[in-house]
């Protein structure tokens, strides 16, 4: 079995948090001890003098996680920019060692850890590290989240090609928020040898900002074989 999975997207706004949360909740429903992690978050809100990531609130709530926010999300930045730019704007330096330390603690504590990246694979974390580098160092395979919009075929195929060029293992693609996108899914499948793990339709009762997940977990468990994500290829 894998020790965890790294959820990335073909772009921002494709629903990585929703899919990462659904994966974690589905694994928990299998009776496993699962943890969640968003190593770096930008666009954090200041609440009672403390920065809080809405993504992290959602990820923790969907599995009733009691892990400390600083463990789940060691780097939080207020500007809604790429992490290196957000840190520069905020006048701070990202301490990446906090991420590695938190990740080790989570993997020691839980059977399986679902890690959500930020943006896509080529988003810079700092001056030396991209999201792809983070996934590589963690040794995790990717679940790539795609969404139907103009340009998404190109973005999806480019993400797959870049992941392969970096020797990242790819579990497959999950298509999120689909609205009559069957042709789109078929085109991706035609040009790629990567497994399609499943497709989730657009759901009005799911909102990360309001921390509402509706029936996403039940739908996810019906449509997607979570064992394909947990199983480690030999």
Whether the CA torsion 41, 46, 49, 54 is positive or negative: it is negative
pLDDT score of 181: 63
Instruction: Assess contact for 94 and 126: CB atoms under 8 A.
Output: yes
pLDDT score of 23: 97
pLDDT score of 232: 85
pLDDT score of 234: 57
Backbone phi, then psi, for 118, in 5-degree steps? -130, 125
Instruction: Assess contact for 107 and 3: CB atoms under 8 A.
Output: yes
- 3-class SS at 142? strand
Q: Show the low-confidence residues of the chain (pLDDT under 70).
A: 181-182, 234
Catalytic sites, residue numbers: 38
- Tokens read off for 228: 């394909």
Q: Are strands 112-116 and 4-9 parallel, antiparallel or unpaired?
A: parallel
pLDDT score of 189: 86
pLDDT score of 14: 95
pLDDT score of 106: 98
pTM above 0.85, yes or no: yes
- Output the DSSP codes for 159-179: HHHHHHHTT--EEEEEEEEES
């Amino acid at each position: 079995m894998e020790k965890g999975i790294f959820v990335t997207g073909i772009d921002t706004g494709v629903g990585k948090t929703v899919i990462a949360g659904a994966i974690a909740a589905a694994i928990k429903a299998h009776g496993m001890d699962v943890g969640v992690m968003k190593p770096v978050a930008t666009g954090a809100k200041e609440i009672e003098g403390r920065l809080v990531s809405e993504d992290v609130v959602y990820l923790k709530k969907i599995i009733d996680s009691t892990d400390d926010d600083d463990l789940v999300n060691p780097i939080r930045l207020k500007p809604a920019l790429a992490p290196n730019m957000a840190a520069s704007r905020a006048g701070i330096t990202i301490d990446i060692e906090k991420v590695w330390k938190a990740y080790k603690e989570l993997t020691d504590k839980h059977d399986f850890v679902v890690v959500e990246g930020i943006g896509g694979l080529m988003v810079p974390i700092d001056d030396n590290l991209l999201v792809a580098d983070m996934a590589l160092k963690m040794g995790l395979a990717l679940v790539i989240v795609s969404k139907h919009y103009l340009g998404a075929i190109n973005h999806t195929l480019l993400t797959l090609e870049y992941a392969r060029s970096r020797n990242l293992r790819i579990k497959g693609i999950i298509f999120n928020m689909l609205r009559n996108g069957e042709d789109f899914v078929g085109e991706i499948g035609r040009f790629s040898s990567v497994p399609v793990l499943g497709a989730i339709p657009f759901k009005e009762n799911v909102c990360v900002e309001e921390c509402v997940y509706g029936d996403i977990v039940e739908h996810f468990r019906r449509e997607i074989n979570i064992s394909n994500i947990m199983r480690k290829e030999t």
